[in-house]
Amino acid sequence: MFELNIRFQIAAFLMWLLIVVDYRRNSHLQLLSTKCFRTLLILTGLNLVFDGITVYTVNHINEVPVWFNDLVHKLFLGSIVIIMFFNFLYVYILANNQRRIKTHKMLLLLIPIFISAIIILFGKLDYRITENAAYSYGTLVYVVYVCGILYLISAFSLTVNKKIELNTYQRHSIRTGLAIWFIILMVQMIFPRLLLSGLGLILMVLSVYFSFENQKENYDAMIRCFNKTAFHRMICEYNEKGKDMYLLSVSCDNFEHINNISGYDCGLDILKSIVKVLKKYFGNYIYHSENNTLSVFRSSETDDDYLNKIFEELSQIKFDKFEIRFHIKEINLGKYIVEVDDTYETLDFMSNELKGRESGIYSLNEDMWKRKQRHDSIVHIVSESLKNDGFEMFYQPIYNTAEKCFSSAEALLRFKKSSTKDLGFVSPEEFIPIAEEKGMIVELGDRVFEMVARDIKNHNMLDFGIGYIEVNLSRIQTVAVGIAEHLKNLISEYGISPEFLNLEITETASVSSEEILTENMKSLKESGFSLSMDDFGTGYSNLSQINKSDYELIKLDKSIIWPAFDEKADEASKNSAEKILECSINMIKSMGIKIVAEGVETKEMVDYLTEHGVDYLQGYYFSRPINSDEFMEFIKGKAVS
């Protein structure tokens, strides 16, 4: 009889051993859920040991002391309730991003355990021994199983809550494990002689292990460290703990450039080399937190000498004679970070701050944190201004050198003074990139077109000699699907024709998504809009793009104009700058494209640019950007004079 009954316990114990062996082979995240699962695994092992012993004692009831038989049976039953409690706890922690259960909730959750403990301590067990079966039964057994089922139902209810942070696969995995144990428990209660409870528990644990704890979804096998999923889980864990914790991140700044030139394998080798260095100093807990970044968590601030040693060793990494540029960033999570998302936003902010800086070690300090807070304030102001009409349009007049009058203007978006409050002046150069970064630029661009169209209509600009208004298109707008039809619909509500708007496209926009850009520009032209290339001379001059895109205007950036008029520059530099300016003007004019010169601030500039055939002049020599009412007063005044 014993040999017949013990077969399920042996099978379950062997499965438990397989899980333990596989579990110990891998490094595991130091999460609250990991600690909970480890406890669950240990308790399951103890339960299987108690289960095996009870099978022996009940089948040899006349050969073992009564007290010992009762003790192991009660330990076995008690372990079932505790296992189901930890199973619920594990599911709760996973479902709530490693969040701890508050004390008053925990006390409520422990009630079934307290009830089970009292019943087990003071209740009486009955045993049934026949030719074909040997097992314990009675009220005590059923009460314990009911308490276990309460925890099972509670865990299952978490998986149907839409607010919890589990994906569909994870929900199904948990439900499958719970269903397996529930079905086997029902069979056990109906056919108590089968002794299947241990097998049901290990199958439940097995389902959880393969779904959540086998580390495959947390591990980047290519570079042999934890991946971004694992990094996010650790961020949640440390955020929930609320203790001082330091995040150390190593970024390869020219990683994408190296990848593009030497290929994916080269980039992979660089990451492997970084991992190797970091493991030497920090052990196995390295995280591939971003495409070009490896991170570690530290319980205390890293010593400067220690960081210098790491940096020196990283600096020795070389591939294909590339000079690899590294930044080491350190953030005191306990001091600066409140929410999980703050970590990612702060890392992104630091990466943007460090672009173009020398390789080195940088800690998040008070000055950088103040800049981050200003950045966050601007994000909030842009969002609120879009909701509450917090913007106004300014216009900078453009002088027509042939007609000797002001025939156009550039529309420039500004915050209303009431919107920025204590931040002071926030320029478009500051808030436009932030709007692009935060996904608000399309809505912002639409607002600009609506405001410009409204001003044109309300001020009857056409009646005062204004031939067109220049409006900037962001990089994101230039490659948006259906942009031509969308913009045409926006201004048609105000009765404005596309011919009255010239769209300024930043020169650097032609570097990425060139095919989409070219297609969109063609559609814009066909819809009646005219196009100009903005900021010519700032970096990525693409002559084939100028020819292919059929621009009506090219705007010379002040960076190509000012050096030719710099009184502090030596004669050779000034002559060289003047030649570049003159050649640029001649080249553009030879292509039949009109020129707008930006940044015109002196009479000398006006005379030179006019003499060399520049069609339009824009700058502080004529007027600073002014609001729509002031602009119309300016135009009317010039028309009279």
Domain CATH number, residue 237? 3.30.70.270
Give 640: exposed, middle or buried? Use CB within 10 Å, 0-12, 13-18, 19+. exposed
| C-beta separation of 165 from 96 below 8 A | yes
Q: Over the chain, what is the mean pLDDT?
A: 85
Q: Are residues 355 and 286 in the same domain?
A: yes
- Residue where the block lists tokens 């600066």: 336
State the Cα angle at 22 between 20 and 26, rounded to 5°: 110
Confidence (pLDDT) at 121: 86
Confidence (pLDDT) at 452: 94
3-state secondary structure 136-169: EECHHHHHHHHHHHHHHHHHHHHHCCCCCCCCHH
Cα–Cα dist 261/263, whole Å: 6
Rg (CA), the chain: 36
Asked, for residue 608, whether it belongs to a domain, the answer is: no
Q: Are residues 420 and 503 in the same domain?
A: yes
Report, as an integer, the average pLDDT of 15-19: 89
**Last-in-domain residue among 190, 214, 238:** 214
Cα–Cα dist 186/283, whole Å: 47
Q: Are residues 178 and 288 in the same domain?
A: no
Confidence (pLDDT) at 94: 83
Asked, for residue 384, whether it belongs to a domain, the answer is: no
Q: What are phi and psi of 397, to 5 degrees?
A: -60, 150
Q: Tell me: the pLDDT tens digits for 320-351?
A: 667 788 899 999 888 888 788 888 889 888 98
* Res 300 pLDDT > 90: no
Q: Tell me: the pLDDT tens digits for 467-508?
A: 999 999 888 888 888 889 999 998 998 999 999 999 998 755
Q: Tell me: the pLDDT tens digits for 559-574?
A: 899 999 988 888 888 8
Asked, for residue 168, whether it belongs to a domain, the answer is: yes
Q: Which domain holds residue 134?
A: 2-214
Distance of CA 18 to the CA centre of its chain: 37
Asked, for residue 574, whether it belongs to a domain, the answer is: no
Asked, for residue 565, whether it belongs to a domain, the answer is: no
Q: Tell me: the pLDDT tens digits for 385-426?
A: 999 989 999 999 999 999 999 999 999 999 998 888 778 888
624: pLDDT confidence band, cut at 50, 70 and 90? very high
Q: Give first-to-last CA distance, the chain, whole Å.
A: 116
Query: Which residue did the predictor score with more confidence, 8 or 298?
Result: 298
Asked, for residue 106, whether it belongs to a domain, the answer is: yes
Helix or strand run (H / E) with residue 196? none
Give 160: exposed, middle or buried? Use CB within 10 Å, 0-12, 13-18, 19+. exposed
- Residue where the block lists tokens 């097995």: 206
549: pLDDT confidence band, cut at 50, 70 and 90? low
Q: Are residues 174 and 228 in the same domain?
A: no
Question: For the stretch 373-408, what's the b/e string if a residue is b when 16 or more beta carbons lie within 10 angstroms of its beta carbon?
Answer: eebeebbebbeebbeeebbbbbbbbbbebeeeebbb
% of the chain at pLDDT higher than 90: 32
Q: Are residues 210 and 225 in the same domain?
A: no
How far CA 29 is from CA of 229, 234, 576, in Å, comes to: 11, 7, 61
State the Cα angle at 557 between 553 and 560, rounded to 5°: 120
pTM: 0.70
Q: Tell me: the pLDDT tens digits for 99-114?
A: 888 888 899 889 989 9
Confidence (pLDDT) at 510: 46
130-144, 213-227, 577-591: range with lowest mean pLDDT: 130-144
Helix or strand run (H / E) with residue 251? strand 246-252
Q: Are residues 485 and 633 in the same domain?
A: yes
Q: Are residues 246 and 334 in the same domain?
A: yes
Domain count, the chain: 3
Cα–Cα dist 413/451, whole Å: 9
Cα–Cα dist 326/308, whole Å: 12
**Last-in-domain residue among 165, 190, 214:** 214
Q: Are residues 198 and 222 in the same domain?
A: no
- Residue where the block lists tokens 């912002």: 444
Cα–Cα dist 469/497, whole Å: 12
Q: Tell me: the pLDDT tens digits for 240-298?
A: 776 778 999 999 888 888 877 777 888 888 899 999 999 999 988 999 998 889 999 98
Element counts in the chain: helices (H) and strands (E): 27, 18
**Last-in-domain residue among 185, 214, 243:** 214
Q: Tell me: the pLDDT tens digits for 306-327?
A: 888 999 888 888 776 677 888 9
Specify the CATH number for the domain of residue 89: 1.20.1070.10
Query: What tokens does 317 get?
Result: 């990494």
Plot region of 356 (φ>0 → left; ψ -120 to 50 → alpha; else → beta): left
Q: Are residues 328 and 291 in the same domain?
A: yes
Strand 225-226 to 219-220 pairing: antiparallel
Cα–Cα dist 312/360, whole Å: 10
Q: Are residues 202 and 63 in the same domain?
A: yes
Q: Are residues 343 and 415 in the same domain?
A: no
Asked, for residue 567, whether it belongs to a domain, the answer is: no
Best CA proximity match to 58, nearest among 122, 128, 132: 128
Strand 360-363 to 326-332 pairing: parallel
| C-beta separation of 499 from 528 below 8 A | yes
Q: Are residues 250 and 348 in the same domain?
A: yes
Asked, for residue 169, whether it belongs to a domain, the answer is: yes
